[in-house]
Structure 1
Amino acid sequence: MSPPARPQRQSSRPNGQWKVDGTAPLNANEAWKQEDGGLSVRERIEKIYSKRGFESIEDTDLHGRMRWWGLYTQRKPGIDGGKTATLEPHELEDKYFMLRVRIDGGQLTSTQLRVIGEISTEFGRDSADLTDRQNIQLHWIRVEDVPEIWRRLEAVGLQTTEACGDVPRVILGSPVAGIAADELIDPTGLISEITARYIGDLSLANLPRKFKTAITGHPSQDVVHEINDISFVGVEHPELGTGFDLWVGGGLSTAPRLAERLGVFIIPERVAEVWQGVAALFRDYGYRRLRNKARLKFLLADWGPEKFRRILESEFLETALPDGPPAAAPTRQGDHVGVHKQADGRFYIGVTPFVGRVSGPTLTSLADLLEANGSTRLRTTPHQKLVLLDIPEEKVESLIVALDKIGLAARPSLFRRSTIACTGIEYCKLAIVETKQAATDAVLDLEQRLAGIDVPQPISLHVNGCPNSCARIQTADIGLKGQLLPDGDGGQVPGFQVHLGGGLASVDRDAAGLGRTVRGLKVTAEDLADYVERIVLRFIADRTGSETFAQWAHRADEEALQ
């Protein structure tokens, strides 16, 4: 039974809902999207901007439409975090781009990986980051080189189409789809169907804001479905067989909200229809007047799941959906790190770099290693990891040794496994502090400090350079939000506000929820490892029974959390 619908907020001003208020644009962003959509800029990049250079790029294309093709200007080096909120975009940005390679379902071949590595080396100063959206991001890209990069990517079946922008972003998929022995249902074909039919479709290329999707048929629920706009989670219906449970309206950033179940059961044949229906509902009813209220989570908060389901079924689907049960609680971690047996008897190996940071040479070396060990397939994950598929049993141990030599650990330390970090001030124009190196240094330090100590469970550490939560700080055991802190001498130093005890139902159903903030609990970047060591040891000393870190963090008094 769905909870009762919540009353919709009353407003004296239109919210820009196309089916309620009409389609007249209510802000400048909505105006340019209607005048000339984001997909149109590709022709100008190829025919004008790549030939005339950065200075020729029209402003609305530069700061708007180019995102529809995975391109953002990156931060100019040397601008400190104190100026992030005071400088104009053109003062913060460099004449280089971040390029996001879209990898739906995280599915890659060794040939594709090698091409990305070669592009990184030739055009991106060896930069490459694995994101927690299963993409790979490159930096230092010149607009002059973009057409050639597209040519190389598309020649091997990759794209940057709608990797950014107010569009359907990359579809998260289980990294072990189609290979895991304990999989409920393989969503690979469904992800392919949705991307083939709808990515680049003009009817869905102007949404109120970004639209994030996740699909998994694995019982570990490995796609962080609670923080996506729409998610399909594999489930067994007692009468209708195997299909999916539907979640909608999740998202973090500065107004975090976990998704809610609609209480329906979806057979595989209807997944693409339902996905398109929810995307179209968001297009037509999503709020467009204020961009900070334009995500689907705000509409769901006002409507509630009962009304959302009713409108979805009556206006956007051919027939109503049957009621369905929730998925069973997962019994193991969904990052897939380590060695696991496939359904076909071969093995998959989950490996972790330091906080998602890799390089062009690392990627090309990995492609070579895969092929030398009888495989041509791998997956990216929503946890900044890689999963290597189809490894013969006799090759597993020697491959693990070779992977260690290029910085990819199949048997990582506790904190190397569970730490992720956003791009940070190194490249991001929104960031206030550095993240990747700070997180790496903390992990290396903690490996020494906690060596030999029996930490009873994985403890996730997520490091973010600003309040926007690209590293999912509110759902981590220890989440760190970048900010500048007083140094005691009238100046400022990089640091973090601390969130404690966040979690997802797919990790710990009993402790699912957003992290707790404690008034005044902040830590400098220099003292990060000190603080994590202190809080972990206090948890070990204070926990009762099988209590998790999240459960302890929410019941502990403030003194214990300092």
Structure 2
Amino acid sequence: MYRYDQHDHQIIKERIAQFRDQVSRRLSNELSEDEFRILRLQNGLYMQRHAYMLRVAVPYGMLSSNQVRKFAHIARKYDRGYGHFTTRQNIQYNWINLEDTPDILEELASVEMHAIQTSGNCMRNITSDEFAGVAADEVIDPRAYAEILRQWTTFHPEFAYLPRKFKIAINGAKEDRAAIAVHDIGLTVVHNEAGEVGFKVMVGGGMGRTPILGSVIRDFLPWKHVMTYLEAILRIYNQYGRRDNIYKARIKILVKAIGAEDFARQVEEEWQDIKDGPATLTEAELKRVASYFTTPDYESLPAQDAAYEQHLQDNKSFANWVKRNVKPHKVAGYSAVVLSLKKPGVPPGDASSEQLDFIANLADQYSFGELRVTHEQNLVLADVKVADLFNVWQEAKAHGLATPNIGLLTDMICCPGGDFCALANAKSIPIALDITDRFNDLDYLHDIGDIELNMSGCINACGHHHVGNIGILGVDKDGSEFYQVSIGGAQGNSSAIGKIIGPSFAAGQMPEVIDRIIQVYVRDRLENERFIDTAQRLGIAPFKEFVYATPIRTNEHHGEDAGTAVSY
């Protein structure tokens, strides 16, 4: 994985010194909160309901074991013993004291990490496929390009104050696991007819108040022009994006207003002036950066392992875990393992300091000391020998990290919601815990099969509810917390925006609502038909009819402090 050079170290060192002075001036009231706000946001520091939240960047989701150990240390020393992994492959700490933040940033810098550009109207963390480099369906490893874009976007002076935040995702596999269709810019690595490497470019995707799938504005962009072409896109956005209305400031609104075809034309015109300029990517630079992403020292192993096959036959629990949590690898004898952060009773995406230390040790022992963060708020050991899978399962199970639910209903995406976020209209964590309690039968979950349930506490859609097969959105209804439900959303190669089924529900009704939706699916599905296929075949009508057919009793849900009392 990428290691900082002297420029990275110098930039981060100077930024920490600068922010230490800014914090000191805020604590002494030389800076007002209004004056300090823009400064702290540039360093990933948010003010939430109860304390400051620090969001740490994890570029394209890659971590070393030492970095994970540092996360554990920060959680113990400066927070309440845990961290929260997000849908942008970052980690957040929800209980930070302002005076500690410069020290935390120094701790992060010691393992080549920072919190820069994890907030504000700038280019955010570059995200990618969590299985990049090992995926069996990979076309080209996108990590070198992701790192080049990370360097290019960091402190880019022309784009430090965009109309609104800006998010870029890059995918290098046949299956889109980077959710490129709902990003401001989505890049897919492709080959043209001559076999040359380039990118398909999508622009104007996003969720929030106005969910829109991105539009393809170029089917093939030669790889060497990736920065100049993206610069042209950002220049058009910076010039014409709205700054008078925060709700209409994202690039998706601009693309929708003028049309994708006209937007593409303007980008092409702007690009002609810079396409062969200094930002043109050279083969030498691409090779230099790619050299950091070295192939691990894989052993020559047989594709089958007799002991592993015997464990599958003898142990149903292990077999269920393999079915859901183990993914194919491009190298024979290896697999990728997803460590579930969705154990019943734990807020989705949370990991305790003890778990983080354990995960770091697990990576050192079984996966070349590296880990990945997924968009679904789980963690990945990308290079595990098939012969080691049984041991990994046993150890992960002992630490609450082997729930065999990846891709199932309880593997839900969930933002921190009203327990923490000052923007949220409603709590998310208690609802997630109640739904998990309702569907705690693993045999039933496995029978239901693949379902993506995504939940957001407000319209900002940090939980990606618009593209959940089942989406839940927290809304304010006359000062009370209610939840709007949508069906039919999807991410990946067949991305779709879900449709709202009807009026919103009280918190205590939500487990029954989800149960009724699942009953319709089980009743009406065809043989081997996934939930999303049934939902898109039938539309929302049968689900709506059954959900609203009879009154739904309101049950008591988890207490007001569900987001703070964490049980690991």
For the aligned pair, the TM-score class normalised by the smaller chain equals 0.7 to 0.9
Matched, 1:551 2:533: no
Q: 2:395 & 2:186 partners in 1: Cα distance?
A: 36
Q: 2:427 & 2:380 partners in 1: Cα distance?
A: 27
Alignment of 1:377-526 (within 5 A): 377-409=370-402, 411-412=404-405, 415=408, 418-448=411-441, 451-452=443-444, 455=447, 457-484=449-476, 494-504=481-491, 506=492, 509=494, 512-520=495-503, 522-526=504-508
| Paired residues of 1:50 and 1:146 also in contact (CA < 8 A) | no
| Paired residues of 1:126 and 1:359 also in contact (CA < 8 A) | yes
CA 1:390–1:410 in 2, change beyond 3 Å: closer, same or farther? Answer: farther
Q: Which residue, 20, 23, 34 being the options, matches 1:49?
A: 23
| Paired residues of 2:16 and 2:105 also in contact (CA < 8 A) | no
Q: Which residue, 212, 216, 226 being the options, matches 2:171?
A: 216
Alignment of 1:285-300 (within 5 A): 285-300=240-255
Query: Shift of residue 49 of structure 1?
Result: 1.9
TM-score, normalisation: structure 2: 0.79
Q: Which residue, 196, 212, 233 being the options, matches 1:241?
A: 196
Q: 1:429 & 1:553 partners in 2: Cα distance?
A: 38
Q: Which amino acid aligns with 2:20?
A: E
Query: Shift of residue 526 of structure 1?
Result: 2.1
Q: Which residue of 2 aligns with 1:263?
A: 218
Taking only the aligned residue pairs, the percentage that are identical comes to 27
Query: Shift of residue 235 of structure 1?
Result: 2.6
Query: Shift of residue 249 of structure 1?
Result: 0.3
Deviations 1:444-490 (A, max 9, x none): 32123x7447645411111211222111111112111113568xxxx
Q: Which residue, 368, 372, 396 being the options, matches 1:375?
A: 368
Q: Which residue, 325, 335, 343 being the options, matches 1:347?
A: 335
Deviations 1:126-160 (A, max 9, x none): 13111011111112111211111111111211111
Q: 2:213 & 2:168 partners in 1: Cα distance?
A: 14
Q: 2:456 & 2:26 partners in 1: Cα distance?
A: 36
Superposition CA RMSD, Å: 2.6
TM-score, normalisation: structure 1: 0.79
Query: Shift of residue 100 of structure 1?
Result: 0.6
Q: Which residue, 498, 515, 519 being the options, matches 1:537?
A: 519
Q: Which residue of 1 aligns with 2:106?
A: 151
Q: 2:464 & 2:260 partners in 1: Cα distance?
A: 24
Q: 2:97 & 2:393 partners in 1: Cα distance?
A: 36
Q: 2:148 & 2:28 partners in 1: Cα distance?
A: 36
Q: 2:173 & 2:432 partners in 1: Cα distance?
A: 30
| Paired residues of 1:502 and 1:550 also in contact (CA < 8 A) | no
| Paired residues of 2:137 and 2:175 also in contact (CA < 8 A) | no
Q: 1:50 & 1:148 partners in 2: Cα distance?
A: 12
Q: Which residue of 1 aligns with 2:8?
A: none
CA 1:409–1:54 in 2, change beyond 3 Å: closer, same or farther? Answer: farther
Specify the SS of the correspondent of 2:205: coil
CA 1:280–1:352 in 2, change beyond 3 Å: closer, same or farther? Answer: farther
Specify the SS of the correspondent of 2:417: coil
Q: 2:361 & 2:164 partners in 1: Cα distance?
A: 39
CA 1:50–1:404 in 2, change beyond 3 Å: closer, same or farther? Answer: farther
Deviations 1:265-298 (A, max 9, x none): 0232222222233223222222112221110001
Specify the SS of the correspondent of 1:350: strand
Q: Which amino acid aligns with 1:461?
A: L
Q: Which residue, 45, 65, 77 being the options, matches 1:71?
A: 45
| Paired residues of 1:184 and 1:242 also in contact (CA < 8 A) | no
Which sections of structure 2, spanning at least 5 residues, go unmatched? 1-12, 277-322, 343-347, 549-568
Q: Which amino acid aligns with 1:231?
A: G
Query: Shift of residue 260 of structure 1?
Result: 0.8
Q: Which amino acid aligns with 2:164?
A: R
Alignment of 1:87-166 (within 5 A): 96-166=51-121
Q: 1:117 & 1:528 partners in 2: Cα distance?
A: 34
Q: 1:346 & 1:126 partners in 2: Cα distance?
A: 33
Q: 2:335 & 2:410 partners in 1: Cα distance?
A: 20
Matched, 1:360 2:353: yes
Q: 2:211 & 2:146 partners in 1: Cα distance?
A: 26
| Paired residues of 2:409 and 2:453 also in contact (CA < 8 A) | no
| Paired residues of 2:199 and 2:220 also in contact (CA < 8 A) | yes
Which sections of structure 1, spanning at least 5 residues, go unmatched? 1-38, 77-95, 321-334, 487-491
| Paired residues of 2:324 and 2:404 also in contact (CA < 8 A) | no
Q: 2:33 & 2:538 partners in 1: Cα distance?
A: 47
Deviations 1:197-251 (A, max 9, x none): 2311222111110000000101120011111000101333223434321100011
Q: Which residue of 1 aligns with 2:326?
A: 338
Query: Shift of residue 561 of structure 1?
Result: 4.2
Matched, 1:59 2:33: yes
Q: Which amino acid aligns with 1:348?
A: A
| Paired residues of 1:281 and 1:312 also in contact (CA < 8 A) | yes
Specify the SS of the correspondent of 1:425: helix
Q: 2:52 & 2:222 partners in 1: Cα distance?
A: 41
Specify the SS of the correspondent of 1:265: strand
